[in-house]
Amino acid sequence: QVQLEESGGGLVQAGDSLRLSCEASGSPFNDYKVAWFRQAPGKEHEFQAFISWDGFRTFYRDSVKGRFTISRDNAKNTVFLQMNSLKPEDTAIYYCAADRAGFSDQLYWRRDEYEYWGQGTQVTVSS
């Protein structure tokens, strides 16, 4: 059992940057795969970025490649999402999701690959 808490969201202007954090507690975090999803108003959860338990593998949604960077510091039980060049269409609630690493890492974009979810942090980008 692991608990996740996101932070770092806020209101910014187009072109600005934000760094989101996902802090885990309740269990060692170094064997968990982690992904960021977002949910815009009226839309489904949408995969954004993935990082393997050891940080070796990362994957991104095409629309955020080159702008977003996922990283982790297992010593601090924290995963980060650095978001640069933000656009109004990035406005959404951003969720951290995690599960134990395994062969299913090949389906990293699927919501059902992650058992544990945080409550989300709001990101709003004005034009």
Enumerate residues 6+ apart whose C-beta is below 8 A from 55. Answer: 71, 72, 74
pLDDT of 63: 93
- What average pLDDT does range 76-89 have in this prediction? 97
- What average pLDDT does range 94-106 have in this prediction? 87
pLDDT of 102: 79
Residue 104 has pLDDT above 90, yes or no: no
What pLDDT, in 10s, does the model give residues 23-75? 999 988 888 999 999 999 999 999 999 999 999 999 999 999 999 999 999 89
Enumerate residues 6+ apart whose C-beta is below 8 A from 74. Answer: 29, 30, 55
Q: Which amino acid type is present at position 64?
A: V
Instruction: Share the mean pLDDT of the chain.
Output: 95
**Please, what's the b/e burial string for 100-109 (b: 16 or more CB within 10 A of its CB; e: otherwise)?**
ebeeeeeebe
pLDDT of 28: 82
Q: Which amino acid type is present at position 56?
A: F
Give the sheet arrangement for strand 3-7, strand by strand.
Answer: 3-7, 18-25, 78-83, 68-73
Residue 121 has pLDDT above 90, yes or no: yes
Residue 105 has pLDDT above 80, yes or no: no
Enumerate residues 6+ apart whose C-beta is below 8 A from 107. Answer: 113
